Structure 1
Amino acid sequence: MHSRTLFRSASLAVAITLSLAAPAAFAAEPTPSAAATDAAVQRAAVAQGLYELAYSPSQNAVFVASSGGFGDDAGPAQVLRLDPTTLAVQQSIPLQRKAFGVVLDDANNRLYVGNTVDTSVTVVDTAQNKQVGIVQLMEKVTAPDGTSRYSHDLRELVVDGAANRLYVTGHSETGSVLFVVDTTTLQVVDTIAGLGNAKAPGLALDAAAKRVYASNLLGELVTVGTDTGKVEQRFAISAEQPMNIALAEDGKRLFVTDQGLEMIRTYQGNSIEGFTSRHPGQRVLVLDRTTGRELASIATDAGPLGILLDAPRKRLYVTNRQGGTVTAYDSDTYRAVGRWAVGTHPNSLALDKANNVLYVSIKNGESDPKGANESVARIAL
């Protein structure tokens, strides 16, 4: 069976999108030891349908995307500006489209918000706290049954503010792509094919080296040249479910979460010819970014997803969605150095480097009341 059939299941697509396009009903509940919030963690319920967040040093504020959720009781689509100390909502920035992934260009006071279900990006001015534009990445296509839909959905975004370029992954069973947007004109200037006939969850930018790195669920690491506009390298890696990516500043290493979700593993076994599972995941894989060679494997709690590197302090932070925890590691020795129970399903991370404070967006689980607000946590490191 062709590998693209792996991603035709709607339920699997929700799982792979990892709470960037739909509720988190697929996820297992956290273990009892992690179900309650750690006493050292400050947590505030903020709004429905929270997804990614960013910390702005210039504004001294946390910005978090809220889709509003789904269904008849859904709230408004918005970006919320939070006080970085109390997590109180300072301002709601209304959006025309549902908000999921985010990336911040702090030097230019721009927050780019992925509208996953609309295959577009909303541009927010963080100084004026308002929406200032929408970039439509592609138009709908007409299916054989006469209905119209987008052929690609979105996940991660990265930005090169100095070069005026935004990069966004677009997923499709017929071939994932990398959208390239000019941030001055807010126009798509290129659509680069070749990310694989599978979801491509991870995305990281090395602006100085003119390289974008993407992972896909065929177990590949794909390197795209931002100067050439094409795929430069493709490696089969030992991670079966490679998700989010962090790049070491030494220019050699790449850290990728290998999730180990049983639903994805089952579909891989049924749909990829010759597939044999060789690792249960639940780790961070350290790779040589030039060869794809495995350098180290770091065990994590269940369901690792978000990953963030604080290079000056040699700290690597990971959200473990099913474990309900955030874990910390020495980025040189790979030794575990911290663990915080944050409750339910921690999703994405942001760091206030000056004050050494970590922010975490937290999704609700099946046991939480339907339509309840989701949370942001603050961890003073």
Structure 2
Amino acid sequence: MQINIITKTKTWQRIGLSAAALAISSIAWANAGTFTAPDADFNAMLSVSGVVHAGDTAEVMGRGFKAGQQIQLVQNGTVLSGKTPLVANDKGEIRAQIHIPKEAVTGLHPVVVQVSNPTAATVFELKVSPKLDLTGEQLFDVQQATIAPGLYQVAYSAKNNALFVTSSVGRPPVKVSQISKVDPESLKVIQQVTPAADPHRAEQVMAVYGVAVDDNANTVWVTNTRAGTVAVYDQKDLKLIKQFAHNSAPHGRDVVVDSQLQRAFVSSPTSNKLYVFDSKKLEPLAPIEIPSTTRQDFAAMSLSYDANGQRLYTVSRSTNELAIIDTKELKTIKTLALPGIKNASGVAVAADQKRVFVTGQSSDNVVIIDVENEKIMHNVAVGAGALNVLWDQDTEQAYIANRAADTLTVINLNGDVLANLSIGSLPNHLSTDGEGNVFLVNKARGQNDESGDQLSRLHFKK
């Protein structure tokens, strides 16, 4: 959920949800009048600070109102904001504290924003997230190390027994970015390189985000998301082999490589296409279009690859769908709707078990899908902001990075929660060596976050 930070002023009104407020009708607004002049250019936005659980007090913040506008927040016919409407300050901002009942159901709850003086209305979603107890710490040996600021993704090379970690700091112009080669046992940095300057923007480097390895070619593929392209580096010394042209993979996010077919595939959340590259000739190929079963365009996020089956799986955050790609024929086989998932983000295939795991970043869950029968077998609440998921065949467990909850949840094929670990701020991405070791990178909440920007190795004690 987006967090808007607003400077505190004396005109903010803080209120709680009381029994009296619950009894107020959503239309009881003294002297408000009807069909008065509307706010023709209304564009206010509301959000909730942080993660909200049942029984918490939620801090609702709004901006973009006109000074003096009166606002009431209504949910399921109940006025949440008390008998007296909130009043926007001279900056057009409001803030209110609302008690969430202990019996509140987890999920996205629509809150109607009723505005007068002049009149307007909108709806925002207040998310009540599941709260899982921490458990299962005794099942894992955990080692952590600081690698670089702005960690983003991690990939493991079996050929070289090395980790390759990408990092980029801040928004454009991005000046700090690195590819780090790391020893997976000691978690010590073997080598680091900074990408070259962006030729289209001198003050910015070709910042790196997604990462994958091609052990047959001994290369590392990275996405240069800000420049809409990809680059290829040598695993041995991290020398740049190929920098593709800008916009060859618009807003490229994840990348996977099929070493046998000699193809690299890149997802793009801003496009309904997967971008394809010849990993031997290092040339772009025709992209693969992904149709949607909805009226919106598919927006590809994470990628997971079944190399033996030559099937690539990706999910769409805009349409909440799973797409299955034939990587030999370079075409989409099927697009499946994902009921129960909101803002689909992460995907992992358990090829031997014919199951696919998909996370919902806004629904705080993971669903386990029988891809042969196109059936959702389990729907598991895992924690706020379930971003990415990894299947580890060695332990036969799925690992879910809950970005907003700062936790890593471990489940089995039946959807049983085996562990829920505190793993540092903003868990972001995972990889495995296939031998019971899972690697995770997490980001930081500001410069002084001691639990941020860490590389973790978790070894499951069998």
TM-score range, shorter chain: 0.7 to 0.9
Q: Is 2:462 the counterpart of 1:380?
A: no
Query: Alpha-carbon deviations, 1:203-260, whole Å to 9, x = none?
Result: 2223333332221121222222223333221222212221111111236321111122
- Give the Cα–Cα distance (whole angstroms) in 2 for the partners of residues 218 and 135 of structure 1: 29
Give the alignment partner of residue 160 of structure 2, picking from 51, 59, 69.
Answer: 59
SS of the aligned residue for 2:286 comes to: strand
Give the alignment partner of residue 98 of structure 1, picking from 185, 200, 207.
Answer: 207
Give the alignment partner of residue 438 of structure 2, picking from 331, 355, 358.
Answer: 358
- Offset of 1:370 from its aligned partner? 8.9
CA 1:75/1:61 → structure 2, altered by over 3 Å: closer, same or farther?
farther
- Give the Cα–Cα distance (whole angstroms) in 1 for the partners of residues 192 and 356 of structure 2: 36
SS of the aligned residue for 2:300 comes to: coil
Q: Which residue of 2 aligns with 1:180?
A: 276
The residue type paired with residue 323 of structure 1 is A
- Give the Cα–Cα distance (whole angstroms) in 2 for the partners of residues 253 and 177 of structure 1: 24
- Offset of 1:56 from its aligned partner? 2.1
TM-score by length of 1: 0.75
- Give the Cα–Cα distance (whole angstroms) in 1 for the partners of residues 50 and 220 of structure 2: 31
The residue type paired with residue 457 of structure 2 is R
The equivalences for 1:122-137 within 5 A come to 122-136=231-245
Q: Which residue of 1 aligns with 2:347?
A: 245
Q: Is 2:300 the counterpart of 1:200?
A: yes
- Give the Cα–Cα distance (whole angstroms) in 2 for the partners of residues 251 and 83 of structure 1: 31
- Offset of 1:127 from its aligned partner? 1.7
Q: Which residue of 1 aligns with 2:315?
A: 215
- Give the Cα–Cα distance (whole angstroms) in 2 for the partners of residues 33 and 249 of structure 1: 28
Residues 209, 224 of structure 2: 8 Å contact kept: yes
- Give the Cα–Cα distance (whole angstroms) in 2 for the partners of residues 154 and 371 of structure 1: 30
Q: Which residue of 2 aligns with 1:323?
A: 405
CA 1:46/1:250 → structure 2, altered by over 3 Å: closer, same or farther?
closer
- Structure 1 unmatched runs, 5+: 1-10, 13-25, 140-149, 261-280
Q: Is 2:269 the counterpart of 1:171?
A: yes
Residues 269, 300 of structure 2: 8 Å contact kept: yes
Query: Alpha-carbon deviations, 1:116-143, whole Å to 9, x = none?
Result: 111111111112332211123736xxxx
Q: Is 2:150 the counterpart of 1:49?
A: yes
Residues 255, 267 of structure 2: 8 Å contact kept: yes
Residues 177, 191 of structure 1: 8 Å contact kept: yes
CA 1:29/1:374 → structure 2, altered by over 3 Å: closer, same or farther?
farther
Q: Which residue of 1 aligns with 2:16?
A: none
The residue type paired with residue 319 of structure 2 is L
Q: Which residue of 2 aligns with 1:5?
A: none
- Give the Cα–Cα distance (whole angstroms) in 1 for the partners of residues 49 and 154 of structure 2: 20
Structure with the largest fraction of helix: 1
Larger radius of gyration: 2
Deviates more, 1:41-50 or 1:297-306: 41-50
- Offset of 1:306 from its aligned partner? 1.7
Q: Is 2:257 the counterpart of 1:159?
A: yes
The residue type paired with residue 219 of structure 1 is N
The equivalences for 1:290-329 within 5 A come to 290-329=372-411
- Offset of 1:44 from its aligned partner? 2.3
- Give the Cα–Cα distance (whole angstroms) in 1 for the partners of residues 280 and 357 of structure 2: 31
SS of the aligned residue for 1:228 comes to: coil
- Offset of 1:77 from its aligned partner? 2.4
Query: Alpha-carbon deviations, 1:271-312, whole Å to 9, x = none?
Result: xxxxxxxxxx21111112245321111221221112111123
- Offset of 1:27 from its aligned partner? 8.9
- Give the Cα–Cα distance (whole angstroms) in 1 for the partners of residues 319 and 333 of structure 2: 18
Q: Is 2:219 the counterpart of 1:110?
A: yes
SS of the aligned residue for 1:190 comes to: coil
- Give the Cα–Cα distance (whole angstroms) in 2 for the partners of residues 316 and 232 of structure 1: 25
SS of the aligned residue for 1:121 comes to: strand
Residues 46, 373 of structure 1: 8 Å contact kept: no
Residues 34, 323 of structure 1: 8 Å contact kept: no
Residues 30, 345 of structure 1: 8 Å contact kept: no
The residue type paired with residue 94 of structure 1 is T
SS of the aligned residue for 2:153 comes to: strand
- Structure 2 unmatched runs, 5+: 4-47, 54-130, 197-205
Identity, % of aligned pairs?
Answer: 27
The equivalences for 1:219-234 within 5 A come to 219-234=320-335
Of structures 1 and 2, the one with the larger relative CO (CA 8 A, separation 6+) is 1
- Give the Cα–Cα distance (whole angstroms) in 2 for the partners of residues 230 and 117 of structure 1: 27
- Give the Cα–Cα distance (whole angstroms) in 2 for the partners of residues 302 and 375 of structure 1: 20
The equivalences for 1:273-288 within 5 A come to 281-288=363-370
CA 1:205/1:60 → structure 2, altered by over 3 Å: closer, same or farther?
closer
Provide the aligned C-alpha RMSD in A.
3.1
Query: Alpha-carbon deviations, 1:62-92, whole Å to 9, x = none?
Result: 21101243468x6532201123233222211
Deviates more, 1:195-204 or 1:122-131: 195-204
Residues 360, 366 of structure 2: 8 Å contact kept: yes
Query: Alpha-carbon deviations, 1:291-337, whole Å to 9, x = none?
Result: 53211112212211121111232111111111111121123x32222
SS of the aligned residue for 2:253 comes to: strand
Q: Which residue of 1 aligns with 2:448?
A: 369
- Offset of 1:30 from its aligned partner? 10
- Give the Cα–Cα distance (whole angstroms) in 1 for the partners of residues 415 and 305 of structure 2: 22
Q: Which residue of 1 aligns with 2:416?
A: 335
